[in-house]
Structure formats: C-alpha cells, structure tokens
Chain A
C-alpha cells in the first residue's frame, strides 16, 4: 500500500471550513499542538472543536477565530488556571459551548463506533444539563423502566491526534494517557496522526500498536509536535510556556505569542 505520510501543510488542507474537528490528548498532555498551529496558519474558520478537555491547543484555535463552537465537558489549562480565550469568547457570546460530560462524550463516540444512533448511560439526571442540551432525549430501559439519557452518536469529520511513533500506514503508539484517542480515530471520517517519529512497521509490532492504520488516513512527521504539552516519556510539559501564555493573553499579546510558538517549531524546543 501507498505510504500515508504527508507534510503538515498538505495534511491540514484536508480540514474544510465548518468541519467538526476532534482534538486528541487531554488537558496538558499529548495534545496535537503543531497540527493546531497549522489550522491557525491556514486560517480555518467556523470549526466545531470536539474534545474531552480543551487545553492550550484548543484555546489557541479559539483565540485565532478558527472555531464558532466548542463541544466539550472541560475547557481549561488544568493546574495553570482558566483557559483565557475560551473564557473571553464565551462570555462575549462569540463562542457557543455545547455542554458535554465525560460520559456523554465517551458514550456518543462509542455509539458511532458501534454503528448505533445512541447509547444510554447513568449521567446528567437531576442537573441543569438537560436544560442546555434539549437535543438529548430520554429512553426507557425495557428491563427496569428507568428513564435514562439517550446520548446521541458523535461523528467528527477530522480527528487530530499526536503519537509517539507511527509507521507509514498509520499504525501508531500513544504511550499512556490515551484519553479518547482510540475512539476519536475510529469515529472520525478522516484521522490525521502527527508523530514524534516515523518508524519501521517491525518496531510497531515489537512495541504494540495503540491505533491501527485502518483508522488512519494521514501520517505527519512532527518532532516535538505536542510541545509545550507533554509527550511522555519523550518530554514533559513545559509549564513556563503555559504561564507565558496566560500572561500574554492578559496583556493582549495573544497574536505575538502564537507567532513565536509557530516559529519555535521545526523540530526545535
């Protein structure tokens, strides 16, 4: 089979304006930062961002006006604090949040993977979530009669995932902190993997794949592609950059911060 390796520009050109983009990794760990910066570079617009937790990479896409909608259950920089651009845009009414929970996202992705329209789960009841998610209906359990939320299938257009290693066919190793990445790769129509290293197929077999190439359309070599988030065990998160980002946003230096982070790429940390 033909190699799936492409350069980052060609890969991100597959993302259409208005698409639902699934962002892999979680909080400050193994986020597809380099791919997200390329989304910013290519000035994508009207995206919906779907992610189990929106971190620095999503906040940058939001700050750069790439997204109209964020579909998540948590947006923040974890121990570093609130996500500044997310907060600013939601409070100004410029970004719509589709309120999810960890379970509504996981069940919605599992429903897609299992070719179902929904999955039930024990969540949301007795909270205000139903009020802000009128699209979520209830289903009666045929065995107990309980009224459970019927969580609708989630079908992302493109998944962006960063890997430790991948071969030319997209068989990829994630290490730990899998987050929702396996389901994102399976549920998305197109999956783009950026990877610290492209390695021979034999090495993936030896170490064991987390994502298999069947679910992957494109592989992008991107050394330090998760920086400043972590890519354990290759590198840890760089907390100084998170602090720098928060200060830059407070002082209206978002654009110059993002430019500097882009220039810091090309394999250099």
Chain B
C-alpha cells in the first residue's frame, strides 16, 4: 500500500490499537473518538477479549460498536455487561484495573508531564481548558498510560508546560521517590508525525511515520528529544485495518474531529449529526 492511501487519523487509530493486549481493560475518557475507534479495532483484530470501561455510560462492556455522537448510549448502556457508577469507576475500578488509557494533552514536555488545565497563568489564563478530570488521579496509580497529540506543533510539545495536570516522569530537580505514586509515567507519546517512548524518563524518538523526516519533527517539537541508534519507520495500517475503520467502525469519520478546530469542526459535527439522524 502506498503511503498516501491512508490519513493520519487512521494511522494514529491503528498505532493506539496495537498497544492494547488481549484480555485487558481499556478505558475511554471524554471526547476521544480516536481512542474509541482504536478499542474497537483491537477488539476486532488481535484482542477479541478486551473489556471496555466507558466513562460515558458508566459501564463495563465487551461488545464492539460503532463510533458516533448521538446514540452512544445504545452501546454503552443498551448492550453493556455491567452498569456501575462514576464514583465506583474513579475510586475503585480504575485503581483496581489500571486500564490501558490514551490521554490527549494540550501541552506535554519531554518528561511526559502534561497540561489540560490552562494556557498562560493559572490565575488569569489566556485559555481556560476544561480541566484535568481523572488525569491527576490516573497519573498517580496507572502504569498503562499513553499520550497522544493529533496536532504535532511547538505549542503542544513544549519545553515547559504552563500547569502540571498530569504527572509524567516528574522533574529532574525534584526527586519523585517521595511521592505516594505507584506508576512510572506514560509509556508512549503518539503524534501525527512520529512515536516517542521514554528512556530514563526523557522522550526518545521511536519511529517516524512514513514520509516524515527527522528535520520536520525537530522543527515542530518544542522540547529536545533523544535519538535511538536507529530511527525506525512506523508500520503503516494494513488494508484490513483500513477497511474496518472506514466501513464498519467509524464510517461517519467522528475520529477526524480530533484534528479539527473552530468553525471547521462545528461544520463537521453538523454533518455527522445529519447523517446520524438520517440513519437513525
């Protein structure tokens, strides 16, 4: 397959899907359709015994569904395995399962610490973001965390984050051994250009996506990162994966909303809603 036969959202969905292991629990937070598409893809390919923990729906489920906006409860409630409450999910089930999770930070540094709270000062922010939700919790106990950034820019991958909502590998100046934290920071940072892992708690380029060169990643990354002995090329999606994503898992393209902003995004939402209304 030629490199232009797939889009970056499809590639990222496949990369996230490959991180999921059969039999484990995966959790979805708010507004992350790419992650949802990745769960379903994993379930339908290499991990048929995956459990889904749905924050939206407050349920545990093991049936694959379709990505959508309007009718999501048909799946998360209408065909779930067990209904729980959000307090149970947060206080009991998340620490118990330590589920595989993908979080999308507004800013992330080379040590995998990240920000979803404010851009600018906390007291008088330039942009007030929605807030940390379960991030300050999960980064204290969950060792199955990964990060993803659909728009790889120097504004998102920064030398210094404005607020630390999520603990990554901490701060070299402050030893994290004193903290009551039982995990070691995110495993991977997946972006539209490449994949980073973390070596001794510092971002290291693991692979470049097909067609992307090192110069572009360096230019669009605000922090310095390490290089391995050999920079690999990311495996492209298979024809089977692409067919599943496009035809069955997310035919409406809800995942693409994560790449859009402003009026373009609102228009895309309106299109999806109209198609959902048509199809019922």
Interface segment out of the listed B7-15, B174-182, B199-207: B174-182
* B 137-191 contacts with A by CB, 8 A: 137, 139-141, 163-167, 170, 176, 178-182
CB-based contact A176/B273 at 8 Å: no
CB-based contact A132/B122 at 8 Å: yes
Instruction: Please give, as numbers and ranges, the residues of chain A lying within 8 Å of B165 by CB-CB distance.
Output: 127-129
How many angstroms between the C-alpha atoms of A168 and B257 in the bound complex?
A: 44
Is B269 at the interface (CB under 8 A from chain A)? Answer: yes
Interface segment out of the listed A11-19, A32-40, A85-93, A215-223: A85-93
Closest Cβ of chain A: how far from B242's Cβ, in Å?
23
CB-based contact A80/B85 at 8 Å: no
Interface segment out of the listed B43-51, B71-79, B209-217, B220-228: B71-79
Cβ-closest chain B residue relative to A83: B130
CB-based contact A127/B166 at 8 Å: yes
Question: Which of A107, A175, A230, A240 is in CB contact (< 8 Å) with B91?
Answer: A107
Chain A 188-208, CB within 8 Å of chain B: the 1/0 string? Answer: 000000000000000000000
Is B69 at the interface (CB under 8 A from chain A)? Answer: yes
How many angstroms between the C-alpha atoms of A103 and B134 in the bound complex?
A: 7
Given A73-B132, A102-B137, A128-B165, A180 contacting B85 (CB threshold 8 A)? yes
Question: Which of B58, B69, B117, B181 is in CB contact (< 8 Å) with A177?
Answer: B58
Instruction: Please give, as numbers and ranges, the residues of chain B lying within 8 Å of A123 by CB-CB distance.
Output: 136-137, 140
Instruction: Please give, as numbers and ranges, the residues of chain B lying within 8 Å of A73 by CB-CB distance.
Output: 131-134
Interfacial residues, chain B to chain A (CB-CB below 8 A): 30-31, 33, 56-59, 69-71, 73, 76-78, 80, 83-87, 89-91, 95, 117, 122, 124-137, 139-141, 163-167, 170, 176, 178-182, 254, 257, 265-266, 269-270, 273, 276
Given A122-B180, A126-B181, A176 contacting B73 (CB threshold 8 A)? yes
Question: Which of B76, B83, B90, B269 is in CB contact (< 8 Å) with A79?
Answer: B269
Q: How many A-B residue contacts, CB cutoff 8 Å?
A: 186
Instruction: Please give, as numbers and ranges, the residues of chain A lying within 8 Å of B76 by CB-CB distance.
Output: 176
CB-based contact A147/B77 at 8 Å: no
CB-based contact A176/B57 at 8 Å: yes
Is A135 at the interface (CB under 8 A from chain B)? Answer: no
CB-based contact B179/A178 at 8 Å: no
Closest Cβ of chain A: how far from B256's Cβ, in Å?
12
Interfacial residues, chain A to chain B (CB-CB below 8 A): 26-27, 29, 52-53, 72-76, 78-83, 86-87, 90-91, 93, 97, 99, 101-103, 106-107, 109-110, 121-129, 131-132, 141, 146-148, 175-183, 230, 232-233, 236-237, 239-240, 243, 246-247
Cβ-closest chain B residue relative to A183: B87
Closest Cβ of chain B: how far from A238's Cβ, in Å?
8
Closest Cβ of chain A: how far from B11's Cβ, in Å?
21
Cβ-closest chain A residue relative to B120: A91
How many angstroms between the C-alpha atoms of A237 and B70 in the bound complex?
A: 6
Closest Cβ of chain B: how far from A181's Cβ, in Å?
8
Instruction: Please give, as numbers and ranges, the residues of chain B lying within 8 Å of A99 by CB-CB distance.
Output: 117, 131-132
CB-based contact B128/A86 at 8 Å: yes
11 further interface pairs, Cβ-Cβ under 8 Å (given A26-B56, A109-B87): A26-B58, A29-B73, A76-B30, A76-B131, A79-B69, A91-B126, A99-B131, A126-B167, A128-B165, A179-B86, A233-B73
